[in-house]
Structures are given as C-alpha cells and as structure tokens.
Structure 1
C-alpha cells in the first residue's frame, strides 16, 4: 500500500498498526526537526512519541494530501507550542514560523527582533487583502489547520491554502521593503 492508501485505511479503521507503518519511516526525520527546536535529546525523543499519540486522533479528522509535508509542519508546530509553553521561544522561531517554507529553514540564530520589527510585521499584515490577512493570522498566529480555517471563514479549502501561500509571500515582500 502507498501512503494515500494507508491514510485512507487508517481513517476508516483506526488500526494503530497501519498508523505505525505510515509513521515509522519518518521517525528519524521528526527527531531531527524536534531536536532543531527543542535542543534536547530526551525532549526530542519524547516529542516524537507524543506526536504519534496525537496523530491517532488528528489523522482521523484531517484531510492530508501530502503526509510527509503535513507531518513536518505538524511536528514543527508541536515543538513551537512546547517552546511557548515553556516560555523559551525565540524571535528566530517566530520569524521561521512566519516566513520560511518547510523545505528552507536555514536562518541566522543571531538575528534579534526589535519592537520596531514587530510593529512592522503588524503594519505589513494590514497591507494584505482581507482574505489573506484572516487566513495568515488563523494559520500562523492561532495555529489553526487548513480545514478549521475553511470552516471558520467559509472559504473553500484550496482557497485557504492559496490565501496563506500568497499572504506569506506578500508579507515577506512587505517586510523586506520596510
């Protein structure tokens, strides 16, 4: 079975062996993602296991087109939430979460945000069209998934994805100009 078939079968049956088959090839990748954010071996190992436990419920309710990409974003957001809970989040993590695509997460650790940078971010968010602004705020600042955003806004799921992608691009352009 390919990933799509495994996902479909898991959604229908809730079979944990199927979820394990789907998840296991990505465990080392997820460990690396978690370690990048958490900077602790034990916490990263725990995060990989906790993410699996959360997927038991999450995957049955979400439409997932590309499992690897979705899992990467889920793991990144999980780690960011753990850092926020521990009040250890840095400005670099915020910038990473707002701008970089999932495949390009190489940024400088020495970059610090000032109060002016946050004001500039808020100003640039205001320059987006209303659909993009709403979707970007819900996705990045409130950590909502595509499906939840579609339900909240009434937008088509593909429109939500488009608004977020275009909004992120426009936000980055605006921030670089100011």
Structure 2
C-alpha cells in the first residue's frame, strides 16, 4: 500500500484514488476521481435526459449516489462502473417520470366517469361470477390446485406439500385447469 502523501497528483491512478478513499473516507479523494469523469457523466445524462439542466442535476445526484454505493461494491474499472451507474440513474429517473404524469382536471369528463365506473364494477362482478361457475366445473384436483395457486398465491412446492401430489402432477393440473377455465369463460361469453 502506498501512503497517501507519496501519491503525486500526476501519478494518481483511478485504482489508487479509489483505494485511498475506501481506506480513509476522505471525500476530497473521491471528488478528485469523480471530476475526471464528470464530463462523461454529464454527457451520458444529457444523452438520456435530453435536457441540460436535468443532466446537471443528475451529475450532482449521481455523486451523492456514488457516496452511498461505493462502499458496498467492489469496483475494478471505475470509469466503466461509473458509466453504468450514470446510465441506470437516468433510466430510473425517466421511468419514475413516466409514472408521475400530470393531467389537467376536466370536470365534465369526471362526472361521466362515475357512471361508467359503475358499469365497469357490474361487468367485473359478472366476470367473477362466471369464473366461479367455471371453477366449479373443474375436476376436484384441478379445482384445488387452481384455488391454491391463483387465489391463495401458493407456489408449486407449497401445493405439493399441502396436497401430497407430485410436483409434475400439480404443474399439469394447473396448466390444464387454466386451459379449461379459458375454454369455459369463452363459452359463457
């Protein structure tokens, strides 16, 4: 290990700075390393976010994320790892931005939705009744396997333990039961 005092700025490798940061926790070392690649991070963010201000904010947020993640990861190639971190940060931002779409409130539409919502509820209730009727037409083993798998969210292994059936038999019962339910539901409209 090379003491920090003996590392000259011109000779600092990414690995030496990273190792020194992990040993000392000195953020100046990490900042020095990050600044080497800040143009890469900014360019990556600009590529994905397509907005200069958002990209600048992302560069700062990624540095904060770097502080949190670096201690939990073994990094052999800092530049490559940082690029992937920046890319994933931008993709997560874009994904969360899609979820938070704001739409204008239009009262005339909202009032008509009340009635269509009621129709949808009644339609869904009828579908559930049809499904229940179709489940009753299944063989006893299929019915039990379908109920345990879909209604009680049990996995194949749990169903095997509860029923004493073989794993392949449970898989077959669920697949055939699902197919029979689909046929029955299509017949009943």
Q: Which has the larger radius of gyration?
A: 2
Provide the TM-score with structure 1 as the length reference: 0.48
Higher relative contact order (CA 8 A, sep 6+): 1
